Chains A and B, each alone.
Chain A
Amino acid sequence: MTALAIPAGPATGAAAARPITLLTTVQHSLTMAWRGLLKVRRTPEQLIDVTVQPILFTLMFAYLFGGAVAGDVVSYLPTIIPGILVQTVITTSTVTGVQLREDMDKGVFDRFRSLPIARIAPLAGALVADVLRYVIATTLTLVMGLIMGWRPVSVSGTLGAALLVIVCAWALSWIFAFFGVIARSASSVQGISFLILFPLTFLSNAFVPAETLPRWLKAFVDINPVSHVVTAVRGLTSATGGGSDVLFALLGAAVVVAIFAPLAVRGYMRKA
């Protein structure tokens, strides 16, 4: 029995004739997102960064440095939990670009090209699937904080803070998706991401009050967008409220998406 050779290329016949509408694009993107979730289920070690990191960082910073920074561990928690929450979730957003590049290197996207699906679906699906990572990281950090004695003022404020962090991380993931599309290898995406995120997360008010920093460093910390997100989260989880920092964080997220979503999509479409 001879195998039938089907040439690779655009889908033929009825499938190709069927127009790709906005609804089908959404359906295809959700299917691709489901593929991303299945990958996680098959290789759960992919979630190490969102499970181990928040637990380890929260324990380490609170128990090792809490007493030296704030007098005791519990007094340090209102400072450190929002800081670690933002740092962990934002760091997680780099995975989007790394996995995108890995998929492109493996030739998986070449296969998708031969299917009668919306060309944008694999990219959109990856970005949707990664929201699960942000939810896991957010939940674990908040739960760790609660176990250790952190007491946010209101449930609604805490949920608002969690939502804000997830939205900001999702917005940032477009930057890394763009790097994933244009970079040569997954390791270079990781390298670029680290070079951007290390100064942004550590040179912020995430771990210590900005007032304790040297003047030249405080000037940078005050304009650092991560500091605004951290301040917004602290505000939402405490009695002060988020105020202008929440608006600033959301506006920043919108600007990032407005700039990098078209760049990522254009770069992706050129390669796909």
Chain B
Amino acid sequence: MLRDTTALTGRLMKQILRSPDTIITVAITPLALFLLFRYVFGGAIQAPGNYTNYLLPGILLITVASGVAYTALRLFNDRQKGINARFLTMPIGRSAVLWSHVLTSLVSNLVTAAIIVAVGFAIGFRPQASVLGWLGFVGVLVLFTLTLTWLAVIPGLTASTAEGASAFSYPLIFLPFLSSAFVPTETMPGPVRWFAENQPVTPVVESMRALVEGRPVGTNLWIALAWLIALGTLAYAVATHRYAKASR
């Protein structure tokens, strides 16, 4: 099973290495947003502390949200070309096919995230985190990526068009805007504030922000983990069920 997953992940990684433009394409929109908010809105928005530090976690989540669209697309393409059907005739662990897509997504999204963080350092990102804080920060980002990737697997397995496979990511990209990713929720009017404070992105952003700035995370981390584990488990169950159904 592990060997199968490694081999299939290697196959997908080769695809990415042959067209590294996908990593650049995924990074462009979040980078544009990062620079736009840092320089155009940064001076006008009343946010606590260093605004680049404030922005970075949300930008990383948008990066992941746009990156997982490619996972859905790769899975859809494999399905359309009949590659998945070929794998079924081989002595390969069935779950290895899905896990290879998930691990490829994780690696490529972390590479893109590293590019964003590097740009962040260049424009004023000044973390105060300890080694443990950094591990927590990366850990939350990894868990967020895994959750969103398993969500992406579902349209990858069910969509009837390439556009349909990747279109699911639009609401995911928009969700950080309706959170504390760009502005504090206290500045939002009633209903918008209520939604922003009770959706999964806000505790994820807040806990990542606290971890990287070396502040106490409070209950945000536990709420974030609860959201991510619950959504991830649900997405995993639906995705594997859909794949098993399609494999019969």
Residues of A within 8 A of B (CB): 60, 63-69, 72-73, 198, 202-203, 207-209, 212-214, 217
Within 8 Å CB of A64, what residues of B?
177-178, 182-183, 188, 192
CB nearest to B192 among chain A residues: A63
| Contact between chains at A65 and B41 (CB < 8 Å) | yes
| Contact between chains at A67 and B189 (CB < 8 Å) | yes
Kindly identify, within residues 20 to 57 of chain B, every residue whose CB is under 8 Å from any CB belonging to chain A.
32, 36, 39-41, 43-47
| Contact between chains at B41 and A208 (CB < 8 Å) | yes
Minimal beta-carbon separation of A203 from chain B (angstroms): 7
Q: SS class of chain A's interface: helix, strand, loop or mixed?
A: helix
| Contact between chains at B44 and A69 (CB < 8 Å) | yes
| Contact between chains at A68 and B177 (CB < 8 Å) | no
Within 8 Å CB of B36, what residues of A?
202
Within 8 Å CB of B182, what residues of A?
64-65, 68
Residues of B within 8 A of A (CB): 32, 36, 39-41, 43-47, 177-178, 182-184, 186-189, 192
| Contact between chains at B189 and A212 (CB < 8 Å) | no
Within 8 Å CB of B183, what residues of A?
64-65, 67-68
Within 8 Å CB of B46, what residues of A?
68-69
- Sort A-B residue pairs by CB-CB distance and give the 4 closest, nearest first: A67-B187, A212-B43, A68-B183, A208-B44
| Contact between chains at B43 and A213 (CB < 8 Å) | yes
CB nearest to B186 among chain A residues: A67
CA distance A202 to B40 in the complex (A): 8
CA distance A198 to B40 in the complex (A): 13
CA distance A73 to B36 in the complex (A): 21
Minimal beta-carbon separation of B34 from chain A (angstroms): 13
CB nearest to A211 among chain B residues: B43
Q: Which of A65, A72, A202 contacts B45 (CB 8 A)?
A: A65
| Contact between chains at B40 and A213 (CB < 8 Å) | yes
